[in-house]
Amino acid sequence: MIAVFDTNVLIAAIITEGICSKLLHRARAGEFSLISCPFIMQEPKRILSKKFHFGQEEIAEAMEPISEAINKVIEHSHKVKDVCRDAADDNIIACAVAAKADYLVTGDADLLDLKSYQSFKIVTPRDFEALFV
């Protein structure tokens, strides 16, 4: 099974000890294949710096478990346009398409409203976790 995590799932996995961090542990244990792209990998760094005021060292430390959990960071040229209100969300969708994902895991209501796109389902972290129970 292949999954792509939206930025908000990665941030929640870093900041809190909840479902998102549990899913990150599952990915690190190889229970599913977690794929990402450069866009998604840069977003947590930017958010940790601007919103949470992390320094460079703290960001590097916070990104370590994410990097360990991700099976592959794919470079892709896939473009998705005007699927979501937020153009940044189109980048997340494009990553999931390029990754041939089965699931896009997100807490973003705009993405969740889509329910699916092409061949993958768009689910909450809680719904994704339920697949393992």
- Tens digits of residue pLDDT in 47-65: 999 999 999 999 999 999 9
Count of positions (residues) in the chain: 133
All domains of the chain in start order, with CATH: 2-130 (3.40.50.1010)
Share of the chain above pLDDT 70, in %: 93
pTM for the whole structure: 0.91
Both tokens assigned to 55: 């320094």
pLDDT at 25 over 80: yes
- Residue 133 is predicted with a pLDDT of 79
Q: How far apart are CA 99 and CA 101, in angstroms?
A: 5
